[in-house]
Amino acid sequence: MRMINGKPVLETLRELVDPGRAALVVIDVQNDYVSQGGMLDRLGYDISSMTAMVEAIAGLVAEARAAGVPIFYVQDTRLPGSRSESGPFLRFITIKCGLEASVTLEGTWGWDIADAVAPQPDDCVIRKYREGAFVGTPLDLLLRSNGVETVVMVGDVTQGCLESSAREALLHDYYVVIARDGVASHRPELHEASLKIMEAKFDVASSEEIRAEWRSHASQPKG
């Protein structure tokens, strides 16, 4: 930690992901995006990168639980009849993203969070209706209520909801750590471009580096 104009600023990954100040935020890891038979798969997109991402996130979720790091799930949500979407947002979903307007429709299997990373009863699950996880949701309130200073962000898609949420987190004064192998996209070129941009703004580390820090904290004797 260093002092800048009299204000403490975290520097190292160990400081940033300390279980006393960090939370794991899982963005949109839902069947329509990451599972065989989900919408991306049905539309013919290659979701192999999503499969690898889910495996990495599952490891982070397990380590977070062991270290006492709170987990917040963000669940992309559409209401029947597009009652939650405006014209501009429907254009974004369909024309620009190439998805159907019914993607992650509330109450469907495609809307459900993937089984491999499914939340437990004590976890917070937050529905969102726009790209960013902070727009029109209680995420900021819930993070602050639990003393969170750093958000470790994982999920999909890299250049979409994940990057939008990371930018919003910084604008809400959170430290942001991105797990490099815990994010993915069905558009590899946009995934790489987004990661390059985020590396210039946030801390980016492998899931194993983050897990190692949490294991280290968990193994320390409690005094």
Q: Which positions are catalytic?
A: 28, 128, 161
Tell me how far CA of residue 158 lies from CA of 24, 137, 185, 189, in angstroms.
Answer: 16, 20, 6, 11
Q: Give the SS3 label for residue 192.
A: helix
Q: Give the SS3 label for residue 182.
A: strand
Strand-pairing partners, residue 103, are none
* Cα–Cα distance for residue pair 176/151, rounded to 1 Å: 5
Strand-pairing partners, residue 26, are 73, 154
Tokens matching residue 99? 């998805």
